[in-house]
């Protein structure tokens, strides 16, 4: 007699449930709990009574410029990753041939080194009299003080760091795409631009949505790149959260901000889910 399905399902889900419970739900529950606690400057960090003061402070209009800057960085990074990643993914799927695995490995190789070390490398490259400044200075485009601590440096660092997150799902979507549809579109008289928007883009839209989400979510919460390449003036919501937990010793406010940022991610996931149902 075969085992009941619910027993098999329970056996399969138990490790997953334990993993999610220990490493996702438990830490998340603590953060939510901290967000409703009261600040304590002593060892306890948070104390009773429960309050919503942290959320009131987190929603203060004074944080709106930082929040807007965070979304601007994340949105620009996502758009640039899409613009750079789509041609690369298309080339890998369509024209790479026997070099495909080598080129895919080249995309993944940066992941083998520390993200922090790579951002520090960009910091040296963009600094005053760095390699980028000297190279652009040859053609008269150098900048006094280098390109460090600018909006462009932050966007460059984020785009460099998260580009593979866009390329891989796009490559998977392009590889599944039936390229005969492009030839059929040309046979029906459609131009290249029309073929792209009416045939190619809808066909690879699941990869576009997945890649955009994979870039947008971590770029929104990243605080390392804005801090190292942008400095204090380019602080993002992630930087402020980090400051509250470390220098500010205000765990309730940091937790409330983290919860609000998480809610933003959840909304993006819900929108992505509905969008995925529409395009699949």
Predicted confidence (pLDDT) per residue in 223-247, tens digit: 889 988 988 777 888 888 888 888 7
Q: Which residue has the tokens 């400051």?
A: 243
183: burial class by Cβ within 10 Å (0-12, 13-18, 19+)? exposed
Q: What is the DSSP string of 33-86?
A: HHHTSEE-SSTTSEESSP-SHHHHHHT-GGGHHHHHHHHHHHHHHHHHHHHHHH
Instruction: Count how many Cα atoms sit within 13 Å of the Cα of residue 264 in the half-sphere of its side chain.
Output: 19
Is the pLDDT reported for residue 280 higher than 60? no
The residue ranges of every structural domain in the chain are 1-33, 61-278
Instruction: Count how many Cα atoms sit within 13 Å of the Cα of residue 120 in the half-sphere of its side chain.
Output: 5
β-partners of residue 39 are 46
Asked whether the beta carbons of 83 and 191 are under 8 A apart, the reply is no
Instruction: Label residue 39 by pLDDT band (50, 70, 90).
Output: confident
pLDDT score of 279: 47
| Cα–Cα distances in angstroms (integers) from residue 121 to residues 133, 234, 236, in the given order | 14, 19, 21
Is the peptide bond prior to 4 cis by the omega test (within 30 degrees of 0)?
no
Helix (H/G/I), strand (E/B), else coil: 130:
coil
Q: Can you list the positions of beta strands (E) in the chain?
A: 38-39, 46-47
User: Quick one: average pLDDT of 65-93?
Assistant: 93
pLDDT score of 163: 93
Instruction: Label residue 55 by pLDDT band (50, 70, 90).
Output: very high
pLDDT score of 88: 93
For residues 187 and 177, what is the distance between their CA atoms, to the nearest angstrom? Answer: 18
Token pair listed for 167: 């390329």
pLDDT over 90 for what percent of the chain?
26
Q: Is 154 or 231 the better-scoring residue by pLDDT?
A: 154
Asked whether the beta carbons of 121 and 153 are under 8 A apart, the reply is no
Q: Is 12 or 247 the better-scoring residue by pLDDT?
A: 247
For residues 185 and 213, what is the distance between their CA atoms, to the nearest angstrom? Answer: 29
Which CATH architecture fits 61-278? Orthogonal Bundle (1.10)
Q: What is the pTM of this model?
A: 0.82
For 79, other C-beta atoms within 10 Å of its C-beta total 15
């Amino acid at each position: 007699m075969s085992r009941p399905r619910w027993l098999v399902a329970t056996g399969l889900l138990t490790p997953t449930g334990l993993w999610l419970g220990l490493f996702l739900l438990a830490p998340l529950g603590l953060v939510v709990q901290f967000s409703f606690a009261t600040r304590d400057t002593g060892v306890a960090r948070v104390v009773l009574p429960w309050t919503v003061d942290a959320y009131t402070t987190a929603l203060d209009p004074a944080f709106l410029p930082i929040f807007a800057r965070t979304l601007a960085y994340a949105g620009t990074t996502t758009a640039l990753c899409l613009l750079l990643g789509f041609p690369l993914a298309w080339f890998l799927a369509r024209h790479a041939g026997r070099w495909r695995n080598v080129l895919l490995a080249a995309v993944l190789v940066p992941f083998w080194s520390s993200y922090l070390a790579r951002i520090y490398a960009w910091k040296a490259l963009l600094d005053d009299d760095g390699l980028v400044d000297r190279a652009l200075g040859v053609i008269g485009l150098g900048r006094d003080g280098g390109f460090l601590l600018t909006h462009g440096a932050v966007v460059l660092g984020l785009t460099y760091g998260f580009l593979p997150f866009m390329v891989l799902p796009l490559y998977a979507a392009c590889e599944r795409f039936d390229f005969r549809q492009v030839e059929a579109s040309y046979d029906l008289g459609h131009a290249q631009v029309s073929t792209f928007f009416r045939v190619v883009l809808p066909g690879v839209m699941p990869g576009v949505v997945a890649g955009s989400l994979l870039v947008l979510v971590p770029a929104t919460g990243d605080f390392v790149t804005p801090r190292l390449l942008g400095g204090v003036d380019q602080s993002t919501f992630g930087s402020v959260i980090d400051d509250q937990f470390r220098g500010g010793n205000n765990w309730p406010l940091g937790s409330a901000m983290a919860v609000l940022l998480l809610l933003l991610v959840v909304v993006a996931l819900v929108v992505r889910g509905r969008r995925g149902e529409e395009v699949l």
